[in-house]
Amino acid sequence: MTKRTLSIAVISLAPILAFYGLLTRETVNLPFMDDYGGILGFVGRWSQLPTLHEKILDPFASQHNEYKLMFANALYVLEYLTTGHVNFAFLSVVGNLLILPLYFVIFGMWTRNGATKEQLFLFIPVSWLLFQLQYYSLLNWPMSSLQHIAVLLFSLLTIYLLSRDERQTFYIALGSLVLAIGSSGNGFFVIPVACLMLVQFRRLARVGYLLCTSAAMLVFYLYRYNFSSSQAHADHSVVSSLHHISLIYSLSFLGASVARYGSYVPAAILGGALCLVFASAIVDRFYARNPAIFYSMCFILITAVAVSGLRSDLGIAQSLVSRYRIYSNLMLIFVYLYGIGKFHSAGETHRRSPDSFNLLPLAASVTLAAVLFNIGSNYAGFKLLHARTELTKQGLLRWELNQPSITTAPGPAHEDPVILRQRLSGNYEPQGQYLMRAESLHIYALPGYLLNKP
């Protein structure tokens, strides 16, 4: 390994180590929000099912709000069968670690024909944009990470495998598609994207196989599906989401990386700019040069539109919530790779020395911006993550001591507005019915350190 390659590896590895180091400090074996019903409630009910048939079917038929979280449910059951209890710290680690293979999937998209030293150098900003705590609320929270990060991993993996246009990888891609749909409902958005890609490759027979697999998953997904489970709409209808699609919400969702949590205007402006770049990529026939990255951008755009239909009734500020920002971060990454790849291809065509770093000034500037973005995001995100952890501990301690809920107590004078909104929404209020049932079934017990118990 040359000194240049070693330097690139060290610079790329630094944000990954910092990211997981900070997360480790705040990883606790405590439930938070949806973890109560979605994990404790689910595992408690599953453990009491009378027949093997019901136990096999339930993880795949159970519904949480609008979603069937088959992948996450299967992991909960597997942990329970292996250890006899639920450990939220372990599940959090599993969810957080899914970002690593997601990173390598993007790396594979970028270096699809083999990695050169220059490509490795140009890829450095990706690790700094991806491994940061701006989407802190998605992390150290099993119900969230095992849904959103998992669906992103398996969706982009499916697109990457299909882009290789090989028989062997096609069948693996079908399995990845099943996992994407089983992780979250937006895994279905891979289907139109994948069909377009296969039509581009003139693989019409494979389109048939993919549609058959998709139809089977759709039938399975709709089995015992509750269409009146919407959290945002007054009529609670999931179908009515089609009438609530919002362009501004979609744009704000795409550009949330640059916005504070109160103002959506900067996010909407960036989202519009990203859409213009995508339009330029279409005109530039980027789908022919790098279909994996192009169709990954398509998937994120479709997701942005769909989320606006599901959540826009909650207000435009909902598009800025932390757990959604990983989609914006990924869109920034793909736009960067499109742009730098275009310059790189032009340079390869005209220059004489293949080892000359003609893009060094531009790439160095982007890397510096990504590093500063990462540091700022980690600083703000870690403070919010730490506050969430401490408030979760306080809420559970109050519950054990039969004290009033933390949501009824005033916070500090200069409490962060994000934490204030979450606290007043009851995000740190334990749901006693799930805790007591889980303790009675010996599925979960609160850690002894909450009351300094042995």
- Per-residue model confidence as pLDDT tens digits over 110-136: 987 766 778 888 899 999 999 999 999
Q: 3-class SS at 366?
A: helix
Last residue of a domain, one of 325, 344, 363: 344
Is there a contact between 311 and 212 (Cβ–Cβ < 8 Å)?
A: no
Q: Is residue 422 part of a domain?
A: no
Residues in contact with 187: Cβ distance below 8 Å, sequence separation at least 6, in sequence order:
151, 154, 155, 177, 179, 180, 181
Q: What is the average pLDDT across 310-326?
A: 80
Q: What is the average pLDDT across 366-394?
A: 92
What pLDDT is recorded for position 321? 85
H or E element in which residue 36 lies: none
Is there a contact between 103 and 126 (Cβ–Cβ < 8 Å)?
A: yes
Last residue of a domain, one of 300, 329, 344: 344
Q: What is the average pLDDT across 145-170?
A: 95
Mean residue pLDDT of the chain comes to 87
Q: Is the dihedral of CA 268, 274, 275, 280 positive or negative?
A: positive
Q: Is residue 104 part of a domain?
A: no
- Whole-number percent of the chain with pLDDT over 90: 57
Last residue of a domain, one of 320, 344, 368: 344
Here the tokens at position 322 are: 């932390």
The answer on 165 and 221 residing in a single domain is: yes
Q: Is residue 446 part of a domain?
A: yes
Here the tokens at position 331 are: 């869109």
Q: What is the average pLDDT across 304-327?
A: 82
H or E element in which residue 230 lies: none
The answer on 25 and 148 residing in a single domain is: yes
Q: Which of 6-10, 107-111, 236-240, 295-299 shows the lowest mean pLDDT across its residues?
A: 236-240
Q: Rounded to an integer, what is the distance from CA 368 to the centroid of its chain?
A: 25
The answer on 252 and 212 residing in a single domain is: no
The answer on 324 and 259 residing in a single domain is: yes
What pLDDT is recorded for position 356? 43
Q: Which residue has the higher pLDDT, 223 or 278?
A: 278
What pLDDT is recorded for position 281? 93
Here the tokens at position 213 are: 């697999």
- pLDDT of residue 167 exceeding 80: yes
Q: 3-class SS at 64?
A: strand
Q: How many structural domains does the chain have?
A: 2
What pLDDT is recorded for position 222? 87
- pLDDT of residue 310 exceeding 90: no
CA distance 401 to 379: 33
Q: Is residue 389 part of a domain?
A: no
Q: What is the average pLDDT across 251-276?
A: 87
Q: Which residue has the higher pLDDT, 164 or 454?
A: 164
Q: What is the average pLDDT across 351-380?
A: 77
Q: Is residue 41 part of a domain?
A: yes
Count the alpha carbons within 13 Å of 54 in the hemisphere toward its beta carbon. 8
What pLDDT is recorded for position 234? 60
Q: Which residue has the higher pLDDT, 85 or 235?
A: 85
**What radius of gyration, in Å, describes the C-alpha atoms of the chain?**
23
- pLDDT of residue 355 exceeding 50: no
Q: What is the average pLDDT across 167-182?
A: 95
The answer on 192 and 169 residing in a single domain is: yes
How many helices (DSSP H) and strands (DSSP E) are in the chain? 21, 0
The answer on 439 and 325 residing in a single domain is: no
Domain range holding 323?
A: 233-344
What pLDDT is recorded for position 241? 57
- pLDDT of residue 317 exceeding 80: no
Q: Is residue 237 part of a domain?
A: yes
The answer on 271 and 218 residing in a single domain is: no
The answer on 337 and 304 residing in a single domain is: yes
- pLDDT of residue 182 exceeding 90: yes
Is there a contact between 59 and 162 (Cβ–Cβ < 8 Å)?
A: no
Residue 67 β-bridge partners: 64
What pLDDT is recorded for position 352? 47
Q: Is residue 365 part of a domain?
A: no
Q: 3-class SS at 67?
A: strand
The amino acid occupying position 36 is Y
CA angle in degrees (0–180, nearest 5) for 191-193-197: 115
The answer on 298 and 202 residing in a single domain is: no
CA distance 53 to 50: 9
Neighbours of 4 (CB within 10 A): 14
Residues in contact with 180: Cβ distance below 8 Å, sequence separation at least 6, in sequence order:
151, 154, 155, 157, 158, 187, 190
Q: Is residue 103 part of a domain?
A: no
What pLDDT is recorded for position 177? 96
What pLDDT is recorded for position 347? 53
The answer on 245 and 219 residing in a single domain is: no
The answer on 308 and 174 residing in a single domain is: no
The answer on 25 and 173 residing in a single domain is: yes
Is there a contact between 226 and 63 (Cβ–Cβ < 8 Å)?
A: yes
